[in-house]
Amino acid sequence: MRTILFIFTIIFLNFDLKAQILPHYPTDTISVINYVVPNVITPNGDGYNDVFILPEEIVIRENQVAIFNRWGKAVYKINNYQNDWNGENLSSGVYYYQVIFDNYKLKGTLQVLR
């Protein structure tokens, strides 16, 4: 049995992640995109954190948003979300979101505090 050793060099340049396999192999480029998505909403009508807010870069594009309960049942689904979901009719607890836009999929948790 022969062992093949690959050496990887990772270089960070202008927030892009470039992985190069040396010595004479093709280079793959992976773009790193950082979006800050809030993980708590407090829909109490005080004007602060009342709705689930996605970054404008996502909302202006065609998108799909789904919110799931802890058993995986979809409790909210919409195409072209416009930052207007307030967790209506849901009790306090932890939920899971999935946002699809362009060729990206964002997943995370969202806590609803009442």
Mean model confidence pLDDT for the chain: 81
pLDDT of 86 strictly over 60: yes
* Cα 33 to Cα 17: distance, rounded to the nearest angstrom: 10
Please report the pLDDT score of residue 21 as a whole number: 44
Conformation bin of residue 102: beta by default, left when phi > 0, alpha when psi is -120 to 50: left
Specify the 3-state DSSP secondary structure of 52.
coil
Q: For residue range 59-79, list pLDDT tens digits in order.
A: 999 999 999 999 999 999 999
Q: Which residues pair with 7 in a beta bridge?
A: 22
Confidence of residue 26 (pLDDT cuts 50, 70, 90): low
Alpha carbon distance 83, 27 (integer Å): 38
pTM given for the model: 0.72
Domain 40-112 has CATH 2.60.40: yes
Q: Which residue ranges make up each domain of the chain?
A: 40-112
**Residue 27 pLDDT grade (very low, low, confident, very high; cuts 50, 70, 90):** low
